[in-house]
Amino acid sequence: MTDLTSLTIMQAGQKLAAAEMTSVELTRAYLDRIEAVEPQVQAFITITAEQALEQAQQADERRKKGEKGPLLGIPLAYKDVVTTLGVETTCGSRILEGYKPPYTATAVRFLEEAGAVMLGKLNMDEFAMGSSTENSGYKITRNPWDLERVPGGSSGGSAAAVAARMAAGTLGSDTGGSIRQPASLSGVVGLKPAYGRVSRYGLVAYSSSLDQIGPFAHTVEDVALLLEVIAGHDPRDSTSMQTADTGFASSLKQDLKGLRVGVPREFFIEGIEKDVESAVRRAIEKLAELGAAIIEISLPHTQYALPTYYLTATAECSANLARFDGIRYGPREQAGNVLETYRKTRGEMFGAEVKRRIMLGTYALSAGYYDAYYLKAQKIRTLIKRDFDEAFRQVDVIAAPASPTTAFKIGEKVDDPLQMYLNDIFTLSTNLAGICGLSVPCGFDQAGLPIGMQLLGPGFSADRPNAGEALILRAGHAYQHATDWREKTPAL
């Protein structure tokens, strides 16, 4: 008998539609899988088993009444940075322990309306600040391919849950690579949509001009199905674009003939692991075999992406995290007066990385330093965006590594913030430019650890509003079907 947790979302949906199984049976299979492997992987902060079975029963009843849909009855899980009505949302931080939001994030609501089942909330670096999920206030998530290594971050729980077959798909968030980097390190598919494609309503803000919700799954096809549901205009999010978000899955049917793929020389640099570079270059050669035209391009301001990101993101986090004071949310460390209560609560409840970024951002915004740091970073951000605008006049898609390394060992970089920040060197510029990016598995290193190829597409344009995601999904799907990397799974 087929292990139901080995099915893709598309396959599971077909079996549900054909009445070969029920959503309750599928959900029980995932809950059993969670019980079996979660103690090793530690991907979940909250498991909502009772609610999941109730939603599965409702999905089965909806299907009996003739309702259809690719996600009806499909078990998913969500990064603990998106709000869920009545279900604890911690952002991986002790300062929000016990907080149960009075509303649900728009992306989650869209999935609920489509009939998806929520298995639980997933571990993450505290307030999405990190590249390894070691900064969580609750636990360290482990990579299913090697339990002594990290799954990436900050959406490490989202990537690991898919890799370990504890959810058919998941949601994560990407501020500087937090979907694509863990997807690469965990051997799954992860998509960061263009900024404004998916509503940020209910996404607890880290850096408001960079944050974006996106899906994880085993296949590009599944990611496209998830995107079609969560994308769309939301009047409650002023940054949500008013576009007709359809056709992502249908774009997968096209071949790659005539597709122009750019290869940026700045993304193959000193410090990238040889196995990573070799695997990505072989993947680009495969795209050429499938009919794509390979064109070398330059993104000259890439070298400034790291400092630009860490000035922009920390400045915005300094403002966004000011609301967490022990008065309105979560536990409180009581002191003699209000100021001391703030100081004590934030000092004891925030982790070291969150404190570091708040201090960096506050400094960058302070009088006398704003022009020298934050304002200059915004000017360079404009130049980085212009690099991509110019590149996408020459090419349709950009192909590059998603991460300079494969998964590193737990504890290896936690005491060296700069080395940790460098893990996102290939992903940061995408968020600064507001474009979309997809990580697709493209091989393994000599130690058997996954490697991901990153495909980047343009942002919004008036004449082709869906062009970016449709193009990278098309390229990723063609590559995935021409290779067998997706067939390999970790031996838990």
Active-site amino acid positions? 79, 154, 178
Give me the helix-helix angle, 220-230 and 9-17, nearest 10°.
70
Structure tokens at 315: 């400045």
Residue 461, classified by CB atoms within 10 Å of its CB into exposed (0-12), middle (13-18) or buried (19+), is exposed
Sheet holding 436-444, edge to edge: 44-47, 117-122, 75-79, 169-173, 213-217, 189-192, 436-444, 450-457, 397-401, 260-264, 293-297
- CB-based contact 324:341 (threshold 8 Å): no
Q: What is the DSSP string of 390-406?
A: HHHHH-SEEEEES-SSS
Rounded alpha-carbon distances, angstroms, from residue 259 to 59, 366, 384, 392, 478:
40, 47, 24, 12, 12
Instruction: Look at residues 216, 177, 214 and name the one whose alpha carbon lies nearest to residue 194.
Output: 214
Q: What is the DSSP string of 283-299?
A: HHHHHHHTTPEEEEE--
Instruction: Look at residues 103, 121, 35, 110 and name the one whose alpha carbon lies nearest to residue 71.
Output: 110
Tally DSSP H helices, then E strands, for the chain: 15, 11
Q: Three-class SS of residue 486?
A: helix
Residue type for position 167: A
What is the DSSP code (8-state) at residue 452? E
Within 8 A by CB and 6+ apart from 360, the residues are 310, 311, 314, 318
